[in-house]
Structure 1
Amino acid sequence: MPQPVELPHEPRADGDPMGTPADDETVLWKGRPDPHVLARTAMHTRSLAVYFAVLVGVWVFSGNPNAAITFAVLGVIAIAILYSIAWFSARTTLYILTETRLIMRIGMAIETRINVPLRHVQAANLRARGSGHGDITLELGGERLLGYVLLWPHVRPWHLHRPQPMLRAVPDAAKVAEMLADSCAAIGEIERGKAGAATGDERPAPAAHAGSASFAASRRAPSPVRLEEATA
């Protein structure tokens, strides 16, 4: 059984059943996003830096150093702001996985506590982000939908119609994904197989991203949960 992870400066929700595991719940894992990975993947700071570098280069070769300096300063300011947002978002976020649910305590200005019962998880997809970090997206069943703006940045980009909660930039993402699959296995049956081997009523795993690992655990009642792993 994995040991609970104690994090410094955790957001507190003492006595709140929405944000605090009950006494009879087993906390399997606690974690929060890595601020540097969050800035790169959610705030797109690397892409923004390349964009401003190109602009600066264009103005330098055009013989306009004043414009180049202006865009360089603007680029530094923009990236600094995004890094600050990522750092503050990571500091005010706490993901808690128990044997029955996933608790997301998020919100930079006002803390929001979101409960995701594991029995509602239809699929979980892992996208590796380097150095053991990764994003884990949850596809949920049921009629109740979570708001995209409420979840941001802990949400899969551009899925506005049915927002999908996302554990962003978590360390040891593969282990967390396995832990999530094992928790779902305690609720429903689970099969382990190779990627692309799903047949019949089983749902195929999502395509792996180039240069990254892919994980999927899909559920379709009354069919069993399927866990698939693939490497690009």
Structure 2
Amino acid sequence: MLRAEGVESGYGSVQILWGLDLSVQENEVHVLLGANGAGKSTLLKVLVGLLPCWAGSVHVDGNDITRLSAPQRTKIGLGFTSEVGIFPDLTVEDNLRLSALVVPPSKRKEAIEFAYSRFAELRGRRRALAGGLSGGQRKLVAIARALVSQPKVLLLDEPSAGLSPRYVSEVVDRLAELRGSTTLLVAEQNVSFLEIADAVSVLEGGRIRFSGTKDSFSDDAALRDAFFGLE
């Protein structure tokens, strides 16, 4: 569903990504693990068109989108939420309505209702300012916003950022509910997200150091210890 081949990119004259290959299958949860500075956010920005791809290519559903703009990529099915992911001075409802603008007018109401069906607690807060919600609820609004655009692939950049362990668990649980129906690429340094992973890639120094199933990652004790100190 989503494939990056030989991707290189960076900021100005500073190269961050080096010949990176990544493949995400349809309806799988693919967790991209890496420490701060590994290049996770840079990669996601390249995939959604917020940064140029210096070399290599990006494909969605078999189509080369390397030269498409970010709005064009949204229209063909890439959803993205950053660490913030919301407009804090707007209501929950208005946040969702803004995202619905990329959906054909006849389907906007249905798209918003779909998001509310996934995150029912947001319906009761629809008139509340998004910035006044709890940290966990703000993350749910950000994910709901991305779902409204009806993406083929949803990319999440550090959904655990700024959350207490309690709210991290809540976000993990809610993402688990999307398994099998939405293709997810979750860029994280928090290993809690391995609970819902079908596949795992490890990014270090702008290069993929490991890519495989969650079980194969868990079986590689040396790799786990080297990157995350897991037991």
- The TM-score, its normalising length taken from structure 2, stands at 0.24
Of structures 1 and 2, the one with the larger relative CO (CA 8 A, separation 6+) is 2
- The TM-score, its normalising length taken from structure 1, stands at 0.23
